[in-house]
A and B are shown apart, each in its own frame.
Chain A
């Protein structure tokens, strides 16, 4: 309380001699033998990973080629299926069948007849078709460029029938 300067014992005094240093020496190289193995491991890992990358890339390319081949094959098959389906649809269309039947000399039946298998009877009138009625297969959508073929918009939506025109009587 009275004296501000306290003398601490054990601290070197400014005027005293420096403390002696520990002697320096070379650290012995203990890991020299193991370092060679480590480099080998590193090289091996690198080679392995390069090989793996190569294999993966090869597999990818292979898969890509395989995919391309399969896509082509699938396209070819789909195309073939489509053309066959279209051809079949056209061949089985009734108009085409009727034309073939006419070409073979067949004629339409004039009376429907059925055989009852359970009773062993004939239902309807079974007569040989005579072919006297002319039968043609018409595939043209219109009658051609005649005047009658064009009169199709006949809907008399604004018709006010029977009021402003000549007497209309039903004919039979």
Chain B
């Protein structure tokens, strides 16, 4: 017998079989990789070559009613560095390629980034890290110049910054953005954040060994969805004028805070909302005030709320404008003495006269003819105690207790506007209602929002509610014209050539810090032209130090803002209509106190 394997034929066959086994193993692997696991293998390869970049969505612009930009985003680049790669920076010096490293890179980059060379070199040589943020926002053009230098390890990321060309003018209204994600940090920016924000996109592309994009390589883009534009009902020029007039007065009277609201009588659109102190949205500091006082600050309105008592009593028919009244200086109710602001002997007035003189006792005597619950229902119908449909961030509903919870004295104080708290927006709404013939129109701040195509779509019209009859509204309006004039409490509110109606207010100001009343709230709310009102302007100044009467502190601001608004919105006076209707305010002879039709102090029964 031959040795095993000794036979060449057998040996060849064994080798052949062995080879077959090995080759078929190869073939199976090949089939598995190429046919069965084809996708995952290709994907793995692709992953190693594809770079994904996030393209940020540009935040929507905020514009005023005329299209003036209040807030806009600008594309910028964020520049970062990898110190380990920067060290390999090579540059041609005198025709010779020399390694200049971080020092050379700092020398080249410093003027472009606006930093000093030593500072930059320090950043570029930070040890034990592969990421250093160099500059948060440079212009795309500067980045273009930087990237042409060809410094290794210098990267950039698309980003954007928010710019507010109107600066402090509309800051408390428009708000600001904060953080890396540019989310709203207050005002409209917070309120409509989801509309303004948009959705970021992604760009994926194939790169070569050196990190440069391959011309014919794979690329896939999911475009960013830009944020939508928002148009406010605000008129920027009027907004500035109101803000400036308010700031001037605030500095003069050293007040704690102030608000001016300008609203269209016939549409409810808010045309200007000034709030002071405020902040600079382009330069956020911690000591600034970020609230919008018109929506967030609540105060006891005082005399400006007396029109509600008057309107309710007239509407319910318990008084008429010419109802005879015996008005004493002081009345006693619920174990408390209520007095007028100035001492006076007992006066014989019409109801119109009592309102024109803003008599607390007169309003108590007239207002107590109505049940508590009726008064409450009128306050609520005029918009007190509930947030306006604007729903501004941080907006307050004010404070209006239920009638059954009113304390003994509160039942009387509400009649002259104390013991309840409202916002400036609510206060303005009361006068808008009277000016508009008794129909309350909900305030409106957002005029239009862009659709997905970028075209502005008007928002729905504001809800209209009849609060009082047009007859009663007319009667109250005539009485309010008596306030503005030589005999009224606010001669400073007179605008020559126009009929102006309005009411002053000088209320005791509730101060949370001292848990009681401290200082005053000086206010004036009025509208013009009184015969066919177009605009209502409210001025509210909290805790003024130099002077505190509404007619002195607030009425001049009303005059300036209303004068400017009438000019800017092209509202001429009605030709030949300059004299207000004559109302009988004082009675020639004392009325008969026993006549049940005469209103006098009957001890609050």
Contacts and interface: CB of A to CB of B under 8 A. Distances in A.
B389 interface: no
Contacts of B165: 86, 89-90, 93
A151 B256 contact: yes
Contacts of A142: 277-279, 287-289
Given A159-B399, A161-B399, A172-B551, A154 B297 contact: yes
Interface stretch (A18-26, A42-50, A108-116): A108-116
Nearest to B163: A86
A143 B546 CA distance: 15
A66 B576 CA distance: 71
Interface string B394-427: 0010010000000101100100111111000000
B277 A152 contact: yes
Interface string A123-140: 111010000001111111
A168 B144 contact: no
A115 B339 CA distance: 49
Contact of B306 (A113, A138, A170): A170
Contact of B506 (A108, A149, A172): A172
A14 interface: no
Contacts of B566: 112
A111 B298 contact: no
A95 interface: yes
Contacts of B550: 172
A79 B140 contact: yes
A171 B512 contact: no
B337 A167 contact: yes
Contact of A155 (B279, B298, B302): B298
B453 interface: no
Nearest to A167: B336
B47 interface: no
* Chain B contact residues, majority secondary structure: mixed
Interface residues of B, number: 101
A78 B140 contact: yes
* Chain A contact residues, majority secondary structure: loop
Contact of B303 (A95, A113, A141, A170): A170
A148 interface: yes
Contact of A169 (B144, B360, B497, B543): B360
A167 B300 CA distance: 13
Given A63-B215, A93-B166, A111 B495 contact: yes
B218 interface: no
B285 to A, nearest CB: 9
B191 interface: no
A33 B526 CA distance: 111
B512 A79 contact: no
A144 to B, nearest CB: 9
A80 to B, nearest CB: 8
Interface string A93-129: 1110010000000001111111010000101110100
Interface residues of A, number: 68
Nearest to A127: B496
A170 B506 CA distance: 6
Contacts of A141: 168, 171, 277-280, 288-289
Contacts of B489: 172
B563 interface: yes
Nearest to B251: A143
Contact of A111 (B496, B511, B551): B496
A95 B240 contact: yes
B516 A164 contact: yes
Contacts of B511: 154, 156
A12 B316 CA distance: 140
B575 A152 contact: no
Nearest to B506: A171
Given A127-B496, A143-B250, A169 B338 contact: yes
Given A141-B168, A142-B288, A162-B418, A116 B572 contact: yes
A158 interface: yes
Nearest to B301: A170
A125 to B, nearest CB: 4
Contacts of A79: 139-141
A108 B564 contact: yes
Contact of B244 (A98, A113, A134, A151): A98
Interface of B: 68-69, 72, 74-75, 139-141, 144, 163, 165-169, 171, 215-216, 236-237, 240-241, 244, 247-248, 250-251, 254-257, 277-280, 287-289, 291, 293, 296-300, 302-303, 306, 336-341, 358, 360, 396, 399, 407, 409-410, 413, 416-421, 489, 495-498, 504-508, 510-512, 515-517, 520, 542-543, 545, 548-551, 560, 563-564, 566-567, 570, 572-573, 575
* List of 3 A-B pairs having minimum Cβ-Cβ separation, nearest first: A89-B165, A162-B419, A171-B506
24 contacts: A63-B215, A79-B139, A79-B141, A82-B75, A94-B237, A95-B166, A111-B495, A111-B496, A112-B567, A127-B496, A154-B297, A155-B296, A155-B298, A159-B512, A161-B420, A161-B510, A162-B407, A164-B516, A169-B338, A169-B416, A170-B303, A170-B505, A171-B302, A172-B341
